[in-house]
Amino acid sequence: MRTSNGERLHIAIFGNTNAGKSTLLNYITGQETAIVSDSHGTTTDPINKPMEIHGLGPVIFIDTAGINDSTNLSNKRISKSLGVLEKADIFLYVLSLEDDLKFIDQLKAKDKPIIFIAPKQDLEIGQEIREKFKNLRPIAINVNTDDRYKLFEEIKKVVNNDGPLTLTGKLVKKADTVVLVMPQDEAAPKDRLIKPQVMTIRELIDKDAVCISTSLENFENTLNVLKNPPDLIITDSKVFKDVYEKSPKESKLTSFSVLMSGFKGDVEYFRDSVKVLDNEVKNILIAEICTHPPIEEDIGTVKIPKMLKKKYPNVNIDFARGEDFHDIEKYDLIIECGSCMFNRTSVMNRVKKCKEKNIPMTNYGMTIAYLQGIIDKIDYQV
């Protein structure tokens, strides 16, 4: 399985126009990833480059437009760059002699590590940059030498060392038996499994757990061939209640989407938020991260709205896709998908925004569990 961008550490490169951001990206990756030019505003949309850093793992570097861009499209370019703030885990700031460092306050407000770069060390101007900003203790970079590994080492130092989050957390331990109920309908990608299913299977193998995959139709047969009830049952959310009614009382039960809410977001906040549906709600936003065209049996645009309309016939439901997450103040509840294509930082920034505005936010799995009356019967990891 290729690591998707959603599971990579996001490292964003900021600085003034012509500071050397794109040159730095090419130097880091060892490829001509970004166009380099003396003209101002060469970089327009952010440029993403996934790679692997030995000893750290999969990352993605993001080159942005200059934050002092004054070209005709400067407002749109800077807006795109500011959007990267919401998804970055680490900031690389490329210094220049003209830098007034005003933008640094915006970076500091995100409470993320900032690594300062003194570029162009093969030129006299590079020495001037290094001297001018010596109080920031920048890393000196000479692109004519192969010392990019000192930058990698600095990145490793500032990475959170609490250990990687896992999907199943303490729900699964070595030698546990886990049954995965994975119905494959029209929404499933052709000849492939959906990402949360693949991620879960791989994690269970790594944990030395017994992993059994089945369909809803064969779920009871699967239980019958087991000597003991499984330790955990993980199901697709859309058949939550069917699986719950057939599951042994001794088995823990959750869904792929609920696991993703703990892996990518704030699972307890999502669980508490969905209970706003105990009361009358007027406006709901369903936020789908993926940009695939919805189909007849789409869970986000068809199945969940149908369930909500059954409970609240007059509720207004709006939809947002991708990174569109604006004007949220009018909503009584925001329901997000599993967010498998977003990194955790992006999701947690949405959570923070909702908490600041006192807007409940949950996800698909929690919503279906609530609407089917089993929200207090399922298990989740904190």
Per residue in 150-196, pLDDT tens? 899 999 998 866 556 789 999 999 999 999 999 876 555 566 788 88
Q: How would residue 218 be classed by pLDDT, with cut points 50, 70 and 90?
A: very high
- DSSP assignment of 119-135 equals --TTSHHHHHHHHHTGG
Q: How would residue 365 be classed by pLDDT, with cut points 50, 70 and 90?
A: very high
What is the C-alpha separation between 49 and 25, in angstroms, rounded? 8
pLDDT of residue 70: 55
pLDDT of residue 209: 97
Res 75 pLDDT > 70: no
Averaged over 311-333, what is the pLDDT?
Answer: 91
Averaged over 63-70, what is the pLDDT?
Answer: 76
Contact (Cβ atoms closer than 8 angstroms) between residue 63 and residue 32: no
What is the C-alpha separation between 371 and 189, in angstroms, rounded? 26
Q: How would residue 98 be classed by pLDDT, with cut points 50, 70 and 90?
A: confident
Q: Minimal CA–CA distance to 143: which of 16, 39, 31, 61? A: 31
Q: Minimal CA–CA distance to 21: which of 141, 128, 155, 145? A: 141
pLDDT of residue 73: 44
Q: How would residue 250 be classed by pLDDT, with cut points 50, 70 and 90?
A: very high
Q: How would residue 80 be classed by pLDDT, with cut points 50, 70 and 90?
A: confident
pLDDT of residue 34: 54
Dihedrals phi, psi of 251, to nearest 5 degrees: -90, 140
* pLDDT tens by residue, 232-248: 999 999 899 999 999 99
SS3 letters for the chain? CCCCHHHCEEEEEEECCCCCHHHHHHHHHCCCCCCCCCCCCCCCCCEEEEEEECCCEEEEEEECCCCCCCCCCHHHHHHHHHHHCCCCCEEEEECCCCCCCCCHHHHHHCCCCEEEEECCCCCHHHHHHHHHCHHHCCEECCCCCCCHHHHHHHHHHHCCCCCCCCCCHHHCCCCCEEEEECCCCCCCCCCCCCHHHHHHHHHHHHCCCEEEEECCCCHHHHHHHCCCCCCEEEECHHHHHHHHHHCCCCCEEEEHHHHHHHHHCCHHHHHHHHHHHHCCCCEEEEEECCCCCCCCCCHHHHHHHHHHHHHCCCCEEEEEECCCCCCCCCCCEEEECCCCCCCHHHHHHHHHHHHHCCCCEEEHHHHHHHHCCCCCCCCCCC
pLDDT of residue 295: 56
Structure tokens, 27: 């130097």
Look at 89-103, 196-210, 287-301, 308-322 and tell me which has the smallest mean pLDDT: 287-301
Cα angle for residues 146, 158, 122 (degrees, 5° grid): 30
pTM exceeds 0.85, yes or no: no
